[in-house]
Amino acid sequence: MRVVVTGGAGDLGARVVRELQGMGHEAVVASRRTGMDLASGEGVAEAIAGADAVIHAASNPTKAQAVDVGGTVHLMDAVRRQPAPPHVVYVSIVGVDRNPYPYYRAKEMAERVIGLGNTPATIVRATQFHVLAAYFARMGAGPIALSIGDMTIQPVDIDWVATRLAQVATGPRPAAYQHHADLAGPEVFTTDQLSRLIAEHDGRTPPKVVRVPAIGGAMRSFAEGDLVPTGDVETGGRSFREWLAAQPVPLPRGRH
């Protein structure tokens, strides 16, 4: 199959491309570096021409309205103009329908854009990748880690998400728009638990976790556990502990 991966050079997208190639499919990277700009719409129709499936993993949290929403409008417009529209698989985030955080709102809006017209499409929401969970658990400074209220998180292995996306895109084509089960890792953690595990990994004293009050809808939603799936969920991939054990000491900082 010919599968176009938007954002195919990003953290997740590059893994999806490798996975598709390993399965014997033709994987095509589509992003600004290959001449496709979702925000302006330039090169989108050319990028997806002849695709059997499109895995939509391009995103820009700092320009989410232009790239995630507007870009998805451009993408779906091009998809619907194809003589045989490809199956679109969109990577979203667990909780986007419950949390008013602007990036999440944009992702939910992108889901809705994909649903318009009932083109064959699958929405796959995933929880935070392990590296992002570790980033959250190290917000703060020195011996202090910050937690938004009693926030919980069920981090997931990015490689497993990439594998499942490749399998969904190359598997049976749905007749219409559908939601896949949420993808999540095997365990739910509090910030205290994550920061303790990271401190053990790094060989230092665990930080004191200070709870910051949840002010505003987005923070309240984080604090109330909306990052953790509540409905149909598929768990798999390396656990956070297994992932952590494979990381350098000390664990590098950063979201990626």
Ligand X SMILES: NC(=O)c1ccc[n+]([C@@H]2O[C@H](COP(=O)([O-])OP(=O)(O)OC[C@H]3O[C@@H](n4cnc5c(N)ncnc54)[C@H](OP(=O)(O)O)[C@@H]3O)[C@@H](O)[C@H]2O)c1
**Closest distance of CB 56 from ligand X, Å:** 8
Q: Which residue has the tokens 């679109």?
A: 88
Contact flag: residue 198 with ligand X (CB under 6 A): no
Of 60 and 221, which CB lies nearer to ligand X in the complex structure?
Answer: 60
Tokens standing for 228? 């953790």
Nearest CA to 38 among 14, 17, 68? 68
Which span sits near ligand X by CB under 6 A: 11-19, 172-180, 190-198, 221-229?
A: 11-19
Contact flag: residue 154 with ligand X (CB under 6 A): no
Contact flag: residue 99 with ligand X (CB under 6 A): no
Q: Tell me the residue nearest to ligand X as measured from the CB.
A: 10
**Closest distance of CB 132 from ligand X, Å:** 4
d(CA 164, CA 161): 5
Contact flag: residue 7 with ligand X (CB under 6 A): yes
Among 3, 4, 5, 10, binds ligand X (CB under 6 A): 10
Contact flag: residue 11 with ligand X (CB under 6 A): yes
Among 104, 129, 240, 243, binds ligand X (CB under 6 A): 129
User: Which residues of this chain interact with ligand X, rule CB under 6 A?
Assistant: 6-7, 9-13, 31-33, 36-39, 57-60, 67, 71, 91, 93, 107, 126, 128-129, 132
